[in-house]
Structure 1
Amino acid sequence: MHVPRSLQILFSVFFLFFSTQLLIAQDENRLFDSEEVLEMEMSISIKKLRSDTNDSTFITQDIAVKENGAWENYPFEIRTRGNFRLDNCYYPPTRIRMAKDDAKGSIFQGTRKLKLVLPCSKGKNSGNYVGKEYLAYKMYELVTGYYFRTRLVKMSLTNLDDKKGEQEELLGFVIEDDDDVAQRFDAEISDKKIPPNIMEDTATVIHDFYQMMIGNTDWSGLYQHNQKVMIVAQKTIYPLAYDFDMCGLVNPPYAQVNSAVPISKVTERLYRGFCRDEALFEYVRQHFLEKESDLMGLIDKYQDLYTPADLKSMNSFISEFFVILKSDKLFKDRIVDSCRNLDGSYSF
């Protein structure tokens, strides 16, 4: 069949356009396309970072990144963020960002705003807790479709305040920015306080089961503490969980239990979700049971990030959650009959 020349040209233009858009989309996802540890290097004054930045003020900071075996220097901006870790940790939690033009063509194109997580202290085993928190993010990916993407970082850091000028090798990871998560789902992040009972049922209960599984009380669905809410298609609301460092799975020395809950340590479990239809609880129960082997497998997969003792204790800790799910009595006592009422009070 003969195709007119004008149509051939039109098809060629469309093909070129869509091919270009595909390449751009692929390029903009490069940072989180790989699980290879991202090597980074920077020299910075921790004191200056603390004194000269805040929630709205950045300072310029060059960070070298190793890509395809070669080091490339990038002009980032950096600031402190957070609350507890900012006040109590030697290395403050930070946000980093890069100008659009500077990110173009790099692995940061399309993901040029990031949270950077480094160890809390300079202690010998401080990196273990970072490795365990990273594991918590990866486990969450297995049970929900709505999550922040992460990537491990090996950070070579020189603190300019240190007279010795020694370079430290730190384990860390970067976390996807809120707006980039929303863009993936053609959604928006809301700053409004949205009651959990009007969020999407299944995703919310999955979130609540997961927080119980890892022993986390450092969150609030009522006040969106360590939780963002994402609105899809202007009507469906999903929870986005983050900051798992205070949970029983990680169990750092500084871990504290939420003062509003009736337990005394983070390695105790308490279901903090709101009451729902029992059929939904049962559906999510089966969802987690189907994921058990995959979740346990992740602990082994990332075992190089923590000590053998940590590996053993985490296997035991997560197994205890599945003991609850596999027992009709424990499931009813610990979850179904222990959910929270709409005013935040507990049913038991």
Structure 2
Amino acid sequence: GTPFEGQTSLALTSHCGKGYLPANVPSRRLPDDFESYVITEYLGYRLYNLVTEYSLRARAVRINYADPENPRRDFTHYAFFTEHFESLARRHGAELVNGEFDFASLDIGSTDQLALFNFMVGNTDWSIEEQENILLLRRTDGSVVPVLYDLDMSGLVSAHYARPAPELPIKTVRQRYYLGYCHDGNAWDELFTKFWDLHPEFMQTIATMPFLNRGERRRAGVYLETFFEILRSDRKRQAKIVDACRALPGAD
């Protein structure tokens, strides 16, 4: 067998070229910058795998691009495959939710983990209400689990083209903004403890990521450490996470 045995189609995230840049982007980026974005986004998937089994598996690859008319233009770049949504659903004996669903069925524990992870990596490019960069799985007990994907707009990746939504009170994606829900019985201490306990594994994953260079590992590690500085401070934790939560849709 092969690592892809049983797969019929997989999403592939790869580099892009220089291309067009908006007028407000001051400089053009080299191909190495785009490859760094790809591998750092792959790192984000691997970090999320540590948080929950309800996450897409990813596999990094090096792809050789051949130009049969001009072999001198052949080149090689990193990319990564992500698991098909249907495969994820089958792994958990669940079904994909398409369209509207009852928010009362949302698995709150999974939702809180997803929201805090997105806060950790500086990702605001997601919405459960709009099912934007979120897929939903309905388990056999009827509960619905949100699963994130697409992290290229996160502060962890820090792509030159990434911008927060204009309605958010932040200016860059490197700034964090919590988009999780408030609800009765918010188990904040349990949630924060889970991430604290994962701190060593997060850092070990960054330190041993073979596709990142030393500078990229350092930038990723420093960025995550600023999240743990927030968790370490009662005042910052309260202001930036607990007090920032949004009303759960449908809640009275």
Query: TM-score, normalized by length of structure 2?
Result: 0.88
> Who is 2:101 aligned against?
194
- Mapped pair 1:312 → 2:218: yes
Q: Percent identity?
A: 29
Q: Distance in 1 between matches of 2:50 and 2:118?
A: 13
State the AA in 1 paired with 2:230.
I
CA drift of 1:163 comes to: 5.9
Higher-RCO chain (CA-CA 8 Å, sequence separation at least 6): 2
What is the match of residue 261 of structure 1? 168
Q: Is the 8 A contact 2:105 2:142 kept in 1?
A: no
Match of 2:244 among 328, 335, 338: 338
Give 1:111 shift: 1.6
Per mean C-alpha deviation after superposition, the further-off stretch among 207-216 and 322-331 is 322-331
Q: Tell me if structure 2 keeps the 8 A contact 1:195–1:221.
A: no
1:237 aligns with 2:144: yes
Alignment of 1:3-18 (within 5 A): none
2 CA distance for matches of 1:215 and 1:194?
27
- Summarize the alignment of residues 80-95 of structure 1 with structure 2, pairs less than 5 Å apart: none
Query: Which position in structure 2 is the counterpart of 1:324?
Result: 230
The question of whether the paired residues in 2 share the 8 Å contact of 1:230 and 1:238 is answered with: yes
Q: CA–CA distance in 2 between the matches of 1:197 and 1:120? A: 41
Q: How far apart are the structure 2 equivalents of 1:166 and 1:195?
A: 53
5+ long unaligned stretches in structure 1? 1-26, 32-107
TM-score, scaled relative to structure 1? 0.64
Q: Deviations over 1:304-348 (max 9, x none)?
A: 42332222221111001111112211111111111012469xxxx
| Contact 1:200/1:236 (<8 A) preserved | yes
- Name which of structure 1's ranges 279-288 and 306-315 shifts more when overlaid on structure 2: 306-315
Residue 5 of structure 1 corresponds to none
Higher CA-based Rg: 1
Deviation at 1:266, TM superposition (A): 0.3
Partner of residue 65 from structure 2, selected from 121, 146, 157: 157
| Higher percent of residues as strand | 1
Aligned position for 1:110: 6
Match of 2:23 in 1: none
Cα RMSD over matched residues?
2.0
Alignment pair present for 1:144 and 2:52: yes
* 1:110 positional shift: 1.9
Contact 1:114/1:176, CA 8 A, preserved across alignment: yes
**Equivalent residue, structure 2, for 1:119:** 15
- Check if 1:131 corresponds to 2:27: no
Alignment equivalent of 1:178, drawn from 85, 97, 101: 85
Q: Is 1:203 matched up with 2:101?
A: no
Mapped contact 2:89–2:96 kept (Cα < 8 A):
yes
- Aligned residues of 1:256 and 1:265 also touching (Cα < 8 A): yes
